Chain A
């Protein structure tokens, strides 16, 4: 296990300068994610245009892995359809938990592949993705219960 495989430059950069960080008003959907193990919390807000994600922003506090993962995620799914975003969720989930090699489709998200060597940290990286999936799968996304990784 090498630390610089976990804390790659892309991760450190997105932790230092998270993209799409802040409020999004008015939002079509607002979902909260919570990791009770470490206290990470994030709020994800989305605007839809038809079936597509027109805009997405997040707020909250978390470790570098959780912040960078959320930042990378918002960049990756903005402009995608719900189905495309859910497919990406599935890809990332497999990247974090299986031995799946990063595919080209993942782009910068491939930087998260170092996390799977640290089982205690997988939830840090997946919190935002579970939160997004909950928002995308819901019938009435405006009134969703908080997502918990426990």
Chain B
């Protein structure tokens, strides 16, 4: 893998971040949309892939594809080695204790459903409580609602304030002797708020409450160390961190995973099957029934190695500069209101423009080559809280530029003229 452009970059200040060199790793960023250079500001929905990921998947498909864990032939052994090497990359990436703690799943949604059904369903009973926060993505609400229906447990929702911040004290005051599971986002997808997860995990742990962190929006922006966080589960998706779609990771603390029954039954998750009974496979395979997304895992492994080859502190500082520039620039636009102004915020801006519906805005921005998300961001309780049907959201990655934000602002002003 060639990371020379990244290795050459100076470190320290975000102004020295060589964004053009980084952009050359992402071929799609060179394309044009409606005759304009693409400004891809929808990274919160899905980020783009570097050449390293595209090539890793291509190389696997062309030279190594076979089913894994079951062939004595060369291709099967190569495919198995590549798949398991990707798992090793992920162990290092989030500082898991061992490969037994990395379970490949389809994405964050599947990871949370797995925990709800395999950890929650056998252990919860009527009267128990599951605690989440108001700003969760639907994927961190609905699996718990299903679990409540199945077990008679109650879903408790911790509040957020008018800036879209969740305060640790408010959450802790809702942790009761009945609370069995605490689940929250690390970073809000709709608002960008960063939650005080370390403190919340510690508070939950002190009360014997299991913890799950939805890290889908955090992993692309910051270094995550699951041992430092000390959570029981951490879930994230490949495609939001520059890897392929259809692959993601459930990190689980080994001691907890060991006690959980399998979620799905099938091939690969067994050691021996007879009609009298079945012996389940060891971790992590116990939770990987059926042929997995092999090429996806390999692509995700390449994405992780790509990120590991970057100076993530510098990249993070560049994203901070993008957020500050976007906030300052958009604030100057009359009738534009930023929704979600948390003090600690990831690099995204959700906003509404008076007189221009987010969907019309999205269409007009697209005509200028600018991709943003418009809608409820799969967080309808957040929209309801702010009494909005939808917002527009510009979500940045380290490959975005200040100039793209200036184009965004100019295009918003163009939309205002059309609807004036």
Residues of A at the B interface (CB closer than 8 Å) are 1, 3, 6-7, 12, 15-16, 37-41, 61-65, 118, 120-121, 124
A121 to B34, CA, bound (A): 17
Known contacts A12-B419, A64-B419; decide if A3 and B376 are in contact (CB<8 Å).
Answer: no
**How many Å from the CB of B282 to the closest CB on chain A?**
42
Residues from chain B with a CB closer than 8 A to the CB of A16 are 419
Residues from chain B with a CB closer than 8 A to the CB of A15 are 419
A37 to B359, CA, bound (A): 10
Q: Does B292 contact A (CB under 8 A)?
A: no
A37 to B375, CA, bound (A): 7
Residues from chain B with a CB closer than 8 A to the CB of A3 are 363-364, 367, 418
Contact across chains for B419 and A38 when beta carbons are under 8 A apart:
no
A25 to B236, CA, bound (A): 51
A120 to B374, CA, bound (A): 11
**How many Å from the CB of B354 to the closest CB on chain A?**
13
**How many Å from the CB of A61 to the closest CB on chain B?**
6
The one of B363, B376, B383, B389 in contact with A121, judged by C-beta atoms closer than 8 angstroms, is B363
**How many Å from the CB of A115 to the closest CB on chain B?**
10
Contact across chains for A39 and B389 when beta carbons are under 8 A apart:
yes
Q: How large is the interface on B (under 10, 10 to 19, 20 to 34, 35 or more residues)?
A: 10 to 19
A84 to B260, CA, bound (A): 62
The one of B363, B367, B389 in contact with A40, judged by C-beta atoms closer than 8 angstroms, is B389
Known contacts A62-B357, A64-B360, A121-B359; decide if A39 and B376 are in contact (CB<8 Å).
Answer: yes
Contact across chains for A38 and B359 when beta carbons are under 8 A apart:
yes
**How many Å from the CB of A7 to the closest CB on chain B?**
6
User: Which residue of B is nearest A6, CB measured?
Assistant: B363
A31 to B203, CA, bound (A): 49
A6 to B374, CA, bound (A): 18
Residues of B at the A interface (CB closer than 8 Å) are 34, 357-360, 363-364, 367, 374-376, 383, 389-390, 418-419
Known pairs A1-B367, A64-B357 / 8 extra A-B pairs, C-beta < 8 Å: A1-B34, A3-B363, A3-B364, A3-B367, A7-B418, A37-B375, A39-B376, A39-B390
A43 to B375, CA, bound (A): 20
| A3, A15, A61, A121: most-surrounded residue (chain B CB, <10 A) | A3
Contact across chains for B367 and A63 when beta carbons are under 8 A apart:
no
Residues from chain A with a CB closer than 8 A to the CB of B34 are 1
Contact across chains for B419 and A39 when beta carbons are under 8 A apart:
no
A and B contact pairs by CB, cutoff 8 A, 14 listed: A6-B363, A12-B418, A16-B419, A38-B358, A38-B375, A39-B376, A39-B389, A41-B389, A63-B358, A63-B360, A65-B359, A65-B360, A118-B363, A121-B363
Residues from chain A with a CB closer than 8 A to the CB of B364 are 3
**How many Å from the CB of A59 to the closest CB on chain B?**
14
| B364, B376, B389: most-surrounded residue (chain A CB, <10 A) | B389
A82 to B376, CA, bound (A): 35
A62 to B359, CA, bound (A): 9
Contact across chains for B367 and A124 when beta carbons are under 8 A apart:
no
User: Which residue of B is nearest A16, CB measured?
Assistant: B419
**How many Å from the CB of A66 to the closest CB on chain B?**
8
Query: What are the nearest 3 A-B pairs in CB distance?
Result: A39-B389, A63-B357, A63-B359
Known contacts A1-B367, A15-B419; decide if A38 and B390 are in contact (CB<8 Å).
Answer: yes
A12 to B416, CA, bound (A): 12
Residues from chain B with a CB closer than 8 A to the CB of A61 are 389
A137 to B367, CA, bound (A): 38
Residues from chain A with a CB closer than 8 A to the CB of B359 are 38, 40, 63, 65, 121, 124
User: Which residue of B is nearest A40, CB measured?
Assistant: B389
| B34, B357, B389: most-surrounded residue (chain A CB, <10 A) | B357
Contact across chains for B374 and A38 when beta carbons are under 8 A apart:
yes
**How many Å from the CB of A106 to the closest CB on chain B?**
23
Residues from chain B with a CB closer than 8 A to the CB of A64 are 357, 360, 419
Contact across chains for B383 and A39 when beta carbons are under 8 A apart:
yes
**How many Å from the CB of B245 to the closest CB on chain A?**
19
**How many Å from the CB of B142 to the closest CB on chain A?**
14
**How many Å from the CB of B371 to the closest CB on chain A?**
12
A120 to B367, CA, bound (A): 13
**How many Å from the CB of B305 to the closest CB on chain A?**
35
| B34, B359, B367: most-surrounded residue (chain A CB, <10 A) | B359
**How many Å from the CB of A121 to the closest CB on chain B?**
6
The one of A1, A6, A38 in contact with B389, judged by C-beta atoms closer than 8 angstroms, is A38
Residues from chain B with a CB closer than 8 A to the CB of A65 are 359-360
Residues from chain B with a CB closer than 8 A to the CB of A121 are 359, 363
A63 to B359, CA, bound (A): 6
Residues from chain B with a CB closer than 8 A to the CB of A7 are 360, 418
